[in-house]
Chains A and B, each alone.
Chain A
Amino acid sequence: MPATVSVIQRTGPIGLPVNTAISNLRHNTDDTANPGTVNPLVRPTVGSNYGYWKTTYLNADTTPDGTIDNIRFFSDGTIGWTGVELFAGTDPAYTEATGTLGVTGNISTVAIVDIVNYVFATPLAVPGSLSNPSTGKISDFVVLQAKVGTGAVAGTLPFETLTYRYDET
């Protein structure tokens, strides 16, 4: 049987992380998974604010027949959020998202490439693999962070689809 694979967001301190299956990854200004509308992004009066970075990874809920590998991550090439940019990068290690709660996140040193550069033709290569009979974390972390400029539009921003691709034997 093919493995059941999910995308997990890790939150919390390094020593006691919480791993949660993503139902709605909303960029905001706290370190929680599926946060709803609490602590939204804040438009700055000058300069930029940031969301807390969001740390995701591929997880095998059931074991594959063989191996899962060859992982890629990409967008459709456009982020339709006026005044808001989205950055991405990979990290083998987890770092808790930090910042000023409800105001701005600290700037990630990992999520530094505008995600519109990661499209099907030039996706982000994500290290990691997992083989039978193992389950659990497959990939390195894909870290995402929203950057909010003064031109951001108030209100809920539209959904954007980001895609993981992987091979399974």
Chain B
Amino acid sequence: MSTWKANYVGGESLNQYNEDGSENRYKDIDRTKLFSFELLNGDKRVYVLLLHEGQRLIFRRRNWINLNGKLLKQVYLVGYQFNDSTGKNYQVINYIHEDGLVELDNDRNDLVIHPDEIK
């Protein structure tokens, strides 16, 4: 997969790349009216996240490189975060690997790198 598409309530959408080749960035996504978020491999949809009220999109690429700068591995992180009634934040993220493996987990933003992330 290499590109994303954001679909809005009302039927409009925003592709990562416009027809003229220009690029929209993650911050260009209007998350206040986001209905779903897709990852595409060419024209084929390979992942769809549906968002509901109170859920805010998370999207990032996690990269591993060696000292020579060679990209060893890349994982797409797609999910959402929300706050409960006390304000506590929760993050639900799919870790989508190049080989098709998908893991569902929390933010993993502590120091721990999951073993599957270095395979």
Q: Which of B63, B69, B111 has the most CB of A within 10 A?
A: B69
Choose from A1, A5, A121, A161 the contact partner of B113 (Cβ within 8 Å): A121
Assess whether B61 is in contact with A72, with CB atoms less than 8 Å apart: no
Interface residue count on the A side (C-beta < 8 Å):
31
B contacts with A: majority SS: mixed
- What residues of chain A lie closer than 8 Å to B118, measured between beta carbons? 120, 163
Given contacts A72-B113, A165-B113, contact A66 B63 (CB under 8 A): no
Task: Please provide the chain A residues from 1 to 43 with a CB less than 8 Å away from any CB of chain B in the complex.
Answer: 1-2, 5-7, 21-25
Task: Please provide the chain A residues from 116 to 150 with a CB less than 8 Å away from any CB of chain B in the complex.
Answer: 120-123, 125, 132
**Chain B interface residue number, banded:** 20 to 34
Q: Known pairs A66-B60, A162-B67. 12 more at Cβ < 8 A?
A: A1-B23, A5-B63, A120-B118, A121-B113, A122-B111, A122-B112, A163-B65, A165-B117, A167-B61, A167-B63, A168-B63, A169-B59
